[in-house]
Structure 1
């Protein structure tokens, strides 16, 4: 029996099929646990994406999402499959670039149980397919660059431009990052290699320009977008200058504003990676153990990828005016884990050699278990009552009436547009004119926090139903009293 268990454990480390099955199973189980632990409640951004997909679809992702809008559970299941495929491909890439099976599995665990990643891994976001395409592009390039570097580059470029169809900012990745192709090591004379790749890249950019020129919609869109980009960056630069010193705003140049954006993006990336991965990165930099696992050219490739994505995120911050969703930082976390794999490998070797005392190993094991549990357990108040209140209002809404609420989640689950500036949003604490125009056929889902007082005008309504969580937050489903 003991030999069988030892053989099974040894096979999980060395057999790629068994390890792949283990990672896929663990990822899907984690996704299912997170969905059930969170009360099967979507975040506001996901609900807004579902609403737009059925009412005003504009992007490719929203059109693809439209058939799933009526079934949020199915939409979340597809997001779970996409995230699982991304993690599986991440492990395949780790093995491809020379990271061993044990180190790869530890990297997977660090990513799978990262608290910030688990907060967004089921998010219905257009970046879910982009992340999968980004990993697929890296795999195609790194798997075939030694024998067919031009075909490997074309495979990478295809996935990059497909990603740009979902997230336009990915065009910066597809358009600018290929310049690294000129410096990629290879065989033969470096001048001849530079000329060959230079001609190849000229053809690549000429093809892009030709396609854009032949499609009038794309040509006009880029012509309108570039001035808007410059204007937005200039506006954000002024806002940053005001935030630095509101009393005496400094005059920042665009370059200085971009440097500030880089700092803000880096701080946000550190927050999202969490303390464990950040410590690994610092150890990798301080102990210079990066070269213990990764090949030199692959290490440089990942470093350049990290720098380029960092710069893209800063441009996105200046353009959109806010830091992107946490899901957008997942490539940064993955690249940092790859570059820090030497630290994990070194730690595993110390454990195998027996140089770490057993009591310290036991403490480390309990810390790892506690960290993993903290990443999948809902510590804050549950939001199930918001979904239940919205679904009740949707099921009992009169034919001639409408549903209103002061909560976007409740609005979305009641079938109403989940937007603060929408007509369905009404707050009893700060009533607008629409609040006094409610009819007996209308329903008002009022959400009251546990520290808030009861609404002053609550006696004007009949309470049809009430939902609450274990923290004391309540959802009243109200109807205007008839005289």
Structure 2
């Protein structure tokens, strides 16, 4: 077979595969999610910093699970005979595949066309902030899956099986309270949301909502959250962090924030917190997606969504913003949870805007220059989601593995948590060189110094010769020194 015929055959099968994928967005999206997650994890090379301490603790022989997330990691590690890091990556791949499935199920409930669902897949899987989460080991994606599942139940069954939907919502978020404190706030969505979604149609629904409210109120005053009641937790958090947001906004330096003006200051704090959270959401969501949402609204693409479901979706989004503001004020937001949970819902109108652009491009209603600019923006969007532009830290992983195998004959210290983690040491015990000089051990030891390319070595290390050095392409270098008995 000639090369030309081989290329024709390959192109034919690729076209058939593309047609099959387009026909089944759910299956195609899951496959793309799995493949792209594997690529991102391999490309990122190291574990995210926030997970280092927890993963190191779980790797110890006598470790016990302190949460559902820890239990899942240990269970997967046992089932698949992999280390805890590998179990974490397996869990994240599965969680993000499930997250995409739930978003597509919600899109189907909103009557989004097939091209809109593919636009949703594209926007989600190529989003830079979301791809950072896919390379990390975090409990937040598990909560996002629970949250999206509850929203799907709400959209699909609230009108036809209202009481069952209410009970499912209660059970789902009661279980989710083991993942994050935000789940306690989501339990409060009923019955307030029901006031917004009238008419109720049946008296039994009103009775169910009343019973739901009574049960939730009782739970708020029972010691069911870390040994205390959720209400006590909120009160203690407010009392222990009274100035957390004031410091962020600079209110503690304002003369008008006095005890007699506490109400006015409180209003200002919550309005300021709302503004900051909205800004953080917009930053996490990105300029292209934000523009697509605005474009979909201006072109009234949201009118294809059933009005009752649209009202539910708007209320859920507003409630999520409220919870984000409250957690931000209490300094318990966890960063990623506040920055991206609402963005997952905003992908739906963004997909409507992008699919509308695709339709206009297909009918040649844009000029060639406009089409070229749109294609360039989409290519840049994909590039920003899959290319790591910053310095890579894989050299720290390589150095840590080397130290674990070759440098076990004496104590090992370092100023970098990543190196210590891969060397089998506690990443929370990183020690600066200045601290080592004041508390240097009497016996021989190794010290690993991670040198940034823009900084010079400390003067006391400049005259010493390292026994090993590891570097990345940007010039960041990890130097390992051997110090003899003092």
Same fold (TM over 0.5): yes
The answer to whether the 8 Å contact 1:386/1:409 transfers is yes
Q: CA deviation at 1:264?
A: 0.8
Distance 2:436 2:18 in 1: 63
Q: CA deviation at 1:45?
A: 0.5
Secondary structure of the 1:478 match is strand
Q: CA deviation at 1:123?
A: 1.7
1:238-268 Cα shifts (integer Å, max 9, x gaps):
3245x25847574562222111111111111
TM-score (norm 1): 0.86
How has the CA–CA distance of structure 1 residues 120 and 187 changed in structure 2, closer, same or farther, with 3 Å as cutoff?
Answer: closer
Secondary structure of the 2:448 match is strand
Match of 1:133 among 136, 139, 146: 146
- Which residue does 2:304 correspond to in 1? 293
How has the CA–CA distance of structure 1 residues 217 and 364 changed in structure 2, closer, same or farther, with 3 Å as cutoff?
Answer: closer
Secondary structure of the 2:317 match is helix
Distance 1:428 1:476 in 2: 12
1:230 equivalent in alignment to 2:230: no
- Which residue does 2:185 correspond to in 1? 172
Q: CA deviation at 1:383?
A: 0.4
TM-score (norm 2): 0.86
**Paired residues, what number?**
464
Which range moves more in the overlay, 230-239 or 409-418? 230-239
- Which residue does 1:32 correspond to in 2? 38
How has the CA–CA distance of structure 1 residues 427 and 187 changed in structure 2, closer, same or farther, with 3 Å as cutoff?
Answer: closer
How has the CA–CA distance of structure 1 residues 4 and 404 changed in structure 2, closer, same or farther, with 3 Å as cutoff?
Answer: closer
Matches within 5 A, 1:31-430: 31-38=37-44, 40-54=45-59, 55=63, 57-66=65-74, 68=77, 70-186=83-199, 188=201, 193=202, 196-210=204-218, 220-222=228-230, 224-240=232-248, 243=250, 246=253, 250-251=257-258, 253-285=265-297, 287=298, 289-320=300-331, 324-398=334-408, 401-419=410-428, 424-429=429-434
Distance 1:253 1:459 in 2: 53
- Which residue does 1:439 correspond to in 2? 443
Distance 1:356 1:100 in 2: 22
How has the CA–CA distance of structure 1 residues 31 and 327 changed in structure 2, closer, same or farther, with 3 Å as cutoff?
Answer: farther
Q: CA deviation at 1:273?
A: 0.4
Q: CA RMSD in A?
A: 3.0
How has the CA–CA distance of structure 1 residues 5 and 449 changed in structure 2, closer, same or farther, with 3 Å as cutoff?
Answer: closer
1:113-132 Cα shifts (integer Å, max 9, x gaps):
11111112232111121111
The answer to whether the 8 Å contact 1:289/1:343 transfers is no
The answer to whether the 8 Å contact 2:73/2:91 transfers is no
Distance 2:480 2:179 in 1: 38
Q: Structure 1, unaligned stretches of length 5 or more?
A: none
Distance 2:281 2:296 in 1: 17
Which range moves more in the overlay, 228-237 or 462-471? 228-237
How has the CA–CA distance of structure 1 residues 5 and 293 changed in structure 2, closer, same or farther, with 3 Å as cutoff?
Answer: farther
Distance 2:315 2:398 in 1: 47
1:451 equivalent in alignment to 2:454: yes
1:195-220 Cα shifts (integer Å, max 9, x gaps):
54332122113233555667677673
How has the CA–CA distance of structure 1 residues 216 and 10 changed in structure 2, closer, same or farther, with 3 Å as cutoff?
Answer: closer
Q: Structure 2, unaligned stretches of length 5 or more?
A: 1-8, 259-263
Distance 2:413 2:227 in 1: 42
How has the CA–CA distance of structure 1 residues 477 and 327 changed in structure 2, closer, same or farther, with 3 Å as cutoff?
Answer: farther
Secondary structure of the 1:356 match is coil
Secondary structure of the 1:339 match is helix
How has the CA–CA distance of structure 1 residues 443 and 418 changed in structure 2, closer, same or farther, with 3 Å as cutoff?
Answer: same
